[in-house]
Structure formats: structure tokens, C-alpha cells
């Protein structure tokens, strides 16, 4: 029962103050309408949509084993940029100053700070789209500023990269000259080393010839060993036979058969015909074997002498070979060092030269036009975005009602308080 009475009292209070509520609400609506329609200048919004691609390194894929190339790729590459980087860069003072200069804007009305406050950069989630939103009292000017800022951003991106690449190209140009001098020096050192007597090729040929000569000597030595063994076997056989063969042969024959004795005994031949005579004669077999043993001794002596001479030649040639191998080892090491130095100098020079060509091409290319594309240029807006007249009037009406209700309740409370006192 108390709640119904309390609610009734509230409604009665509102009914008693209905004219106050109506008056205040109407006044609020009128004031909001006057400001919205006549006092507040309309603001227009122009929007340019651009598509920005992330910049990748300027280098081309190369062999990972090339340390210089990998180093240069890290030194001379596009700065890594993403959408957030683009969003921040668009409103930098440098770009805003160029827009003011390009459009010949009044610097008192359009300062860098005020222009920055009128610009909002929006991004679309999961895309590489950027919205350049410009608000201005002049609809045509808002579109001009938005489009000019998009164009200047593309130029700014190209100019930044070009400046970086120009500095890189200047450094590379100087370094190419240095590397060219190093290459010429390395080439001259290698050339002079190769032109020296007993170079690596000649030493290798001499060593090969010495090895072949030692092989021939050893082949001859093997053949002499065979001859020596055969001669020794023959000598032993001949000596054995010589020992068994008598030097003289004893013969028994008739005196008449002896020519000398036959002449002396012509007259008494009949009386001594039965007499015999013992004689010794040289054994022809013994003589033959003896001569053969002597010949074999000479042959063995000759073979032994030849073997000694060949062994001496092998030792001499081996010593010469070791000397040549020592010289070759030193010169081969020196040649490898100079050759490696030459190859490294050549590789370094070619790497710098190739990188210089890449940087020079990059310098002459407008990277910004390739990575920033204007998808939708801003058009002159026809409908202002503020003030929102209907919304302002509605808000004013709500506020008027709330304020007037508060005044009515407060007035009623004040009146009842005085009656109690």
C-alpha cells in the first residue's frame, strides 16, 4: 500500500511540474538545434584507401657459403616495414610539411600539429589496407589533403629507400676500387710465382721423371740379380766339375808309337818292339772347364759392379727426389696460398660488383609506387560528418528531460522541507 502511495506521489509531483519539464526540454532542444544548424560549422570527412605491401630484403638469393655476399645482403637491404610502421610514418612532420607545401596551405590555419590532429589512420584487421581519414571544414580541402598525403607517402617511401641505396652505392663504388686493386695485386703475385724457375708443374714433372728413372734402375737391378744367380749356379756347377776333372791324363803306349823314340830306335826296332812308354797329356776337358770358370768369374764381377753402380744411382736419384719433393711441398703450399688469395680477391670483387649493380638498379626504381598502391582515392564529401544534428537534438531532449525532472523533484523536496520547519 505504501509503495502504491509513493509511486502515486511521484507521478503527482511529475504532473505538477510538467510545464517546467516541458519548458526546460524545449529550451534544451532549441539551444541544441540553434547550435547544430546555425552556429557550429559542418565538418567533412574524406577517406583515401591504400594497400601497402611489406618490404622484403633487396638482395637476391645467393650461395650461403659465400660469407661476403651474406654480409652485404644484411648491410644493404630494404628496411623491414609492416603495416604498423606505415601507419606511424604517414603522419610524420616531414610528410605533413610536404603536404602543406604542395597544397600551399595557410600555415596559420594548417600547422603541422593541427593538421596531424585532423588526420586519422585506420587499419583493417587481417588485411594490408590503410585508410587515411582527413576531417576539415572545407569538403574539397579534406579530399585534397587525403589524396596528397597518400601520394606523398609513396614518394617518401621511394625517397627514403633511394637515399639509403645511394649512400650504399657510393660506399660500394669506393670499395669496388679497393677490391679491384687487391685483385690486381693478388693476380700479379700469383703470376710472378708461376713464372719462377722450378714452378709447381715443372717440379711435378721432374719428380715423375725421377720416379720413372728409379723404377728403371730397379728393373735393371732385378734383371742383374737374375743374371747373377744364373752365373753363380753355372760357376758352382763348373767348379764342381773342375774339381772332379784331372788336370793331366796319364797314357801308356808302345815306344814305337812315340815319334821321337821311333826315330832313335829304327835299327833296333825289332829288339824293342815289345817295350812301352808312360806319358802325361793335358786334359782338354779340364782346360775347357777352367776357362769357363774364369769366364764366369769375370761375368759375376761385371754383374756385381753393375749392381753397385745401379745402387749408387738409385741412392743418388732418391736423394735428388727427396730434395725435389721438399721444394715441391714448400712451393705447393705457397702456390695454394697465393691461388686461394687470388680466388678470394676475385670472389670478393665480383660480389661487390654484383651488389653495386643491384643497388644501382634499386636506386633508379620507385619502390614506393610498387609497395604502396592507392586503391580508392578520396572524393569530395557531400554530407558532413559533424555536427550530427538529429543526434544532438535527441541528446539535448534527453538531457533537458533529465535536468527538468531533477529540478521538479528538488523543488518539491525544498517546499516540503519548509512546511515541516
* For residue 387, cis peptide bond before it (omega within 30 degrees of 0): yes
Give the model's pLDDT for residue 276: 63
3-state secondary structure of 384: coil
Kindly list the domain boundaries of the chain, sorted by start residue. 41-194+366-405, 204-338
Tell me the CATH architecture of domain 204-338: Orthogonal Bundle (1.10)
Give the model's pLDDT for residue 346: 92
This prediction has a pTM of: 0.51
For residue 242, which of 195, 296, 278, 307 has the smallest C-alpha distance?
296
- Any residues with CB less than 8 A from the CB of 221 and at least 6 apart, and which? 307, 310, 311, 314
E strand spans, 179-258: 248-254
Whole-number Cα distances in Å, 108 to 105, 111, 118, 421? 9, 6, 15, 63
Give the model's pLDDT for residue 76: 55
Which CATH number among 1.20.120, 3.40.190, 3.30.1890, 3.40.50 corresponds to the domain 41-194+366-405?
Answer: 3.30.1890
Give the model's pLDDT for residue 180: 92
Q: Please give the chain's pLDDT, 421 residues, in tens.
A: 344 447 777 787 788 888 888 888 899 888 888 887 777 778 889 999 988 776 554 444 444 445 566 666 655 555 566 778 888 888 889 889 999 999 998 888 888 998 889 999 988 888 888 899 999 988 999 999 999 998 888 888 877 777 777 888 888 888 899 999 999 999 999 899 888 888 888 888 999 999 999 999 999 999 999 998 998 898 888 888 888 888 777 766 666 655 655 555 555 555 555 566 666 777 788 888 888 888 988 998 998 999 999 999 999 999 999 998 998 899 899 999 999 999 999 988 998 888 888 877 766 665 555 677 888 898 988 888 877 778 888 888 899 889 988 888 888 878 877 665 5
3-state secondary structure of 258: coil
Amino acid at each position: 500500500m505504501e509503495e502504491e502511495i509513493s509511486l502515486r506521489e511521484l507521478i503527482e509531483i511529475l504532473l505538477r511540474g510538467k510545464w517546467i519539464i516541458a519548458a526546460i526540454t524545449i529550451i534544451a532542444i532549441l539551444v541544441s538545434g540553434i547550435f547544430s544548424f546555425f552556429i557550429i560549422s559542418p565538418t567533412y570527412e574524406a577517406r583515401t584507401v591504400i594497400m601497402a605491401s611489406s618490404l622484403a630484403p633487396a638482395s637476391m638469393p645467393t650461395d650461403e657459403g659465400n660469407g661476403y655476399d651474406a654480409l652485404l645482403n644484411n648491410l644493404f637491404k630494404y628496411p623491414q616495414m609492416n603495416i604498423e610502421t606505415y601507419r606511424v610514418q604517414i603522419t610524420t612532420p616531414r610528410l605533413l610539411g610536404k603536404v602543406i607545401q604542395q597544397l600551399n596551405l595557410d600555415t596559420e590555419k594548417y600547422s603541422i600539429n593541427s593538421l596531424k590532429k585532423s588526420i586519422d589512420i585506420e587499419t583493417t584487421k587481417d588485411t594490408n589496407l590503410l585508410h587515411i581519414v582527413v576531417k576539415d571544414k572545407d569538403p574539397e580541402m579534406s579530399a585534397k589533403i587525403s589524396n596528397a598525403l597518400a601520394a606523398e607517402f609513396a614518394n617518401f617511401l621511394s625517397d627514403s629507400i633511394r637515399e639509403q641505396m645511394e649512400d650504399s652505392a657510393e660506399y660500394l663504388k669506393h670499395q669496388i676500387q679497393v677490391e679491384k686493386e687487391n685483385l690486381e695485386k693478388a693476380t700479379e703475385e700469383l703470376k710472378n710465382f708461376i713464372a719462377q724457375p722450378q714452378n709447381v708443374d715443372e717440379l711435378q714433372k721432374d719428380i715423375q721423371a725421377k720416379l720413372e728413372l728409379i723404377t728403371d734402375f730397379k728393373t735393371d737391378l732385378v734383371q742383374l740379380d737374375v743374371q747373377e744367380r744364373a752365373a753363380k749356379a753355372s760357376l758352382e756347377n763348373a767348379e764342381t766339375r773342375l774339381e772332379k776333372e784331372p788336370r793331366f791324363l796319364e797314357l801308356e803306349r808302345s815306344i814305337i808309337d812315340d815319334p821321337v823314340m821311333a826315330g832313335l830306335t829304327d835299327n833296333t826296332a825289332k829288339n824293342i818292339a815289345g817295350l812301352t812308354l808312360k806319358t802325361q797329356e793335358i786334359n782338354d776337358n779340364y782346360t775347357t772347364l777352367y776357362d769357363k770358370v774364369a769366364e764366369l768369374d769375370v761375368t759375376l764381377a761385371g754383374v756385381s759392379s753393375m749392381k753397385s753402380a745401379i745402387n749408387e744411382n738409385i741412392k743418388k736419384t732418391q736423394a735428388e727426389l727427396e730434395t725435389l719433393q721438399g721444394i715441391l711441398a714448400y712451393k705447393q703450399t705457397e702456390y695454394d696460398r697465393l691461388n686461394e688469395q687470388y680466388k678470394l680477391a676475385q670472389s670478393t670483387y665480383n660480389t661487390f660488383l654484383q651488389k653495386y649493380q643491384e643497388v644501382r638498379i634499386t636506386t633508379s626504381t620507385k619502390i614506393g609506387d610498387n609497395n604502396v598502391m592507392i586503391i580508392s582515392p578520396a572524393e569530395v564529401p557531400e554530407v558532413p560528418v559533424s555536427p550530427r544534428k538529429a543526434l544532438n537534438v535527441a541528446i539535448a531532449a534527453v538531457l533537458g528531460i533529465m535536468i527538468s525532472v531533477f529540478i521538479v523533484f528538488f523543488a518539491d523536496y525544498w517546499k516540503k522541507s519548509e512546511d515541516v520547519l
